[in-house]
Amino acid sequence: MICKRIIPCLDIDNGRVVKGVNFGQLRNVGDPVELARFYQDEGADELVFLDISATFEERQTVFDVVQRVARALMIPFTVGGGVSSIGQVKHLLESGADKVTVNTAAVANPELIAEIAAECGSQCCVLAVDARRRSADRRWEVLTHGGRRAAGLDAVDWCHQAVERGAGEILLTSWDRDGTRLGFDLELTAAISATVGVPVIASGGAGGADDFVSVLTIGMADAALAASIFHDRDWRISDLKHVLNEEGIPVRL
């Protein structure tokens, strides 16, 4: 049986780890290298590093910080933020990343997904999707530029298209739940998971162990990502995994 993964997220702004609510109200959390080591020791299955201001500021990901974090890790390491070319993807992989996420650039140029898959392998290509519920119906729209702009795309349709082009994994973040601790958007996660044939990482809204149980079962997610509850030490990853194990959810203890 394939184990479900628990993934801490390091949102990076100006070289520091930050966390906010609905992609705003950012607060400083700490040093990315120190936190990376801490989460690895805590039993994290993977680590995600997102340079959240790179696209909006029209610059590349901070490669030097990526290299320092990569040197501290022995677990899989996914990096994103400001990635807009195959050259940048290769640079990140050479800097120590195992996988690279694309978001805004992939919306602007969907062929980038196919290019990454062809040259680096689908397993390296993670489509990051920031989705916001539309008030007019029970669907979700794709946001770009760090959640600042609506792309005019339906989130479910976009994920399906991206996987057909070669994306090997979906990092799905609910804009509505981000940083709120109100629980993952189960309806959104289940809709995407039922549509694509690749692993889905659920993100946005984790508040406690029950939320992880729900998103990994009802939401059909393959992995769950969180930041606030780990950064604030409300939950230790090891304790969370023991709860999941008791609930019959396969995890690496």
Active site residues: 11, 130
Q: What's the CA angle centered on 175, arms 169 and 112, to 5 degrees?
A: 40
Number of H helices, E strands in the chain: 10, 12
- Backbone φ and ψ for 98, nearest 5 degrees, come out as -95, -30
Cα–Cα distance measured from residue 216 to residue 223, given in angstroms and rounded to the nearest whole number = 7
* Separation between Cα atoms, residue 139 and residue 135, nearest integer Å: 8
Q: How far is the C-alpha of 215 from the C-alpha of 210, rounded, in Å?
A: 9
Separation CA 4–CA 214 (nearest Å): 12
Cβ neighbours of residue 69 under 8 Å, at least 6 residues apart?
10, 32, 33, 36, 47, 49, 77, 96
